[in-house]
């Protein structure tokens, strides 16, 4: 039977799209799973691959506002991508990616982004690794700061409903300046960050929501779970930081001092931290974090002029780049990149690269010179990579604190 890929036309379609990817989590979609997706994905953004009426693959995208260096851009956040193992190697994923990226283009979203379940999949569709994240596993015996601080803030554990407004205020102060972060509306906070259904706990306890107030203003917060465990009367359990954010350097120091000082745990674990996290210099023994780096956001540029217009470009002489884009050929060709953005040109190319490389440099997480050294960009004119890096300034390592 032929496989037909079609956009959804009802809210129930989102649950259908979830089914193939949930197969790999050993479950079928539940109403609790649906609350993480259905309120934010209109049916026409959800694509199902069907054979003889049965769903064999699916994918969808969130409409996002993504912070980029110096601005924000409308983006499609690809999610819940899956193909049943019975239908591997039959072009189902390629067909869904085709439908999804064509849909993104129709919606005038210049950028698509995702978290990759496997790092070998999405480069073939033009996504480039654009950031890296880190996880830590820190023994309580190594939580001392190099320079002890005296806390002057007030801390309070909040209920789910009362946490929304102050935590969202702190997040928004950080989000507007941090490349890689996404805007969160009230429903996103309620359903995806503050809700605490049993199936999200993964063996740990209930979600704790702690607010830090400095000078009467919400300035930091921590979301964490405790996993209690005891041996011979001693704690061998851990505290799992889901998100800990400070709106100022002082608030960051204070919220992490609070988290690291929670009693009755043997270890503190945290996930999806930025690679330039202050903990490297806050901790007296930073190597004890066991900081493990892995890929973070992947970026796919769908509309080059619009994507470059959304971010701050540097002050340097223009550079001409020959771009290869087999999957979205409207991007292919020769582009002059300057402080004003991107425009077509017939001038001689100075750099030659695939669209994935432009995705990698877009948020400022990687440089053209680094990609030249790795053989992912070809420098055709001496000094062109250095000039291109000047055109893509970034003050902070890109960071997204949640997987969508």
pLDDT over 90, % of the chain: 92
In this predicted structure, what is the pLDDT of residue 30? 83
CATH architecture of 304-391: 2-Layer Sandwich (3.30)
pLDDT tens digits, 191-205: 999 999 988 998 999
Residue 34 sits at φ, ψ, to 5 deg, of -65, -30
Catalytic residue among 40, 47, 62, 122: 122
Residues whose CB is less than 8 angstroms from the CB of residue 53 and which lie 6 or more positions away in sequence, other chains included: none
Domain boundaries, the chain: 3-109, 134-294, 304-391
User: Model confidence over 161-215: pLDDT tens digits?
Assistant: 999 999 999 999 999 999 999 999 999 999 999 999 988 998 999 999 999 999 9
Q: Give the Cα-Cα-Cα angle 83, 85, 89 (nearest 5 degrees).
A: 75
Q: Does domain 3-109 have CATH number 3.40.30.10?
A: no
Helix (H, G, I), strand (E, B), or coil: what is residue 240? strand
- How does residue 14 score in pLDDT terms, banded at 50, 70 and 90? confident
pLDDT at 1 over 80: no
Alpha helices in 92-227, H assignment, sequence order: 92-106, 160-175, 186-188
**Range with the lowest mean pLDDT among 24-38, 141-155, 282-296, 307-321?**
24-38
Tokens of 350: 């100075």
pLDDT for residue 369? 98
Is 404 catalytic? The answer is: yes
155/206 Cα distance (integer angstroms) = 18
Do the Cβ atoms of 265 and 141 come closer than 8 Å? no
The reply to whether domains 3-109 and 134-294 share a CATH topology is yes
Task: Give the model's pLDDT for residue 233.
Answer: 86
The confidence score (pLDDT) of residue 27 equals 85
pLDDT, greater one: 258 or 34? 258
Q: Which residues are paired to 292 by β-bridges?
A: 135
Q: How far apart are the C-alpha atoms of 320 and 361, rounded to whole Å? A: 15
122 classed as catalytic: yes
* CA dist., res. 391 & res. 300, Å (int): 19
Q: Which CATH class is domain 134-294?
A: alpha beta
Which runs of E-coded beta strand occur in 275-391? 292-295, 297-301, 319-324, 333-338, 341-344, 351-354, 377-379
* Over residues 123-132, mean pLDDT: 98
- 132 beta partners: 295
Q: Residue 333, by phi and psi: left (phi above 0), alpha (psi -120 to 50) or beta?
A: left
């Amino acid at each position: 039977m032929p496989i037909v890929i079609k956009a959804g036309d009802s809210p129930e379609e989102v649950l259908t799209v979830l089914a193939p990817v949930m197969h790999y989590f050993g479950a079928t979609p539940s109403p609790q799973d649906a609350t993480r997706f259905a309120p934010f994905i209109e049916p026409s953004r959800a694509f199902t691959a069907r054979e003889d009426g049965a769903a064999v693959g699916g994918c969808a995208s969130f409409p996002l506002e993504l912070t980029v260096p110096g601005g924000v851009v409308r983006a499609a956040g690809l999610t819940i991508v899956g193909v049943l193992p019975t239908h591997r190697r039959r072009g189902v994923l390629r067909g869904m990616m085709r439908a999804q990226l064509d849909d993104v283009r129709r919606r005038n979203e210049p950028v698509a982004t995702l978290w990759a379940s496997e790092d070998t999949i999405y480069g073939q569709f033009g996504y480039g690794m654009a950031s890296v994240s880190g996880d830590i596993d820190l023994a309580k015996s190594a939580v001392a700061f190099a320079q002890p601080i005296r806390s002057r803030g007030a801390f309070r554990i909040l209920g789910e409903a009362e946490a929304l407004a102050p935590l969202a205020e702190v997040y928004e102060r950080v989000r507007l300046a941090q490349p890689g972060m996404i805007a969160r509306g009230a429903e996103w906070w309620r359903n995806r960050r503050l809700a605490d259904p049993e199936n999200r706990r993964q063996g740990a306890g209930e979600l704790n929501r702690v607010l830090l107030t400095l000078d009467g203003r919400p300035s930091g917060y921590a979301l964490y779970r405790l996993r209690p465990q005891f041996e011979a009367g001693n704690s061998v359990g851990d505290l799992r930081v889901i998100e800990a954010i400070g709106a100022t350097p002082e608030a960051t120091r204070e919220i992490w001092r609070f988290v690291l000082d929670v009693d009755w745990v043997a270890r503190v674990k945290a996930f999806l931290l930025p690679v330039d996290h202050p903990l490297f210099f806050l901790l007296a023994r930073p190597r004890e974090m066991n900081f493990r780096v892995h890929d973070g956001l992947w970026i796919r540029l769908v509309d080059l002029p619009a994507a470059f217009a959304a971010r701050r470009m540097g002050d340097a002489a223009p550079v001409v780049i020959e771009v290869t884009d087999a999957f979205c050929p409207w991007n292919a060709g020769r582009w002059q990149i300057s402080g004003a953005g991107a425009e077509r040109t017939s001038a001689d190319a100075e750099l030659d690269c695939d669209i994935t490389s432009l995705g990698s440099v877009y948020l400022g997480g990687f440089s053209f010179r680094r990609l030249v050294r790795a053989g992912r960009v070809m420098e055709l004119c001496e000094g062109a990579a250095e000039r291109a890096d000047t055109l893509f300034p970034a003050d902070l390592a890109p960071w997204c604190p949640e997987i969508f």
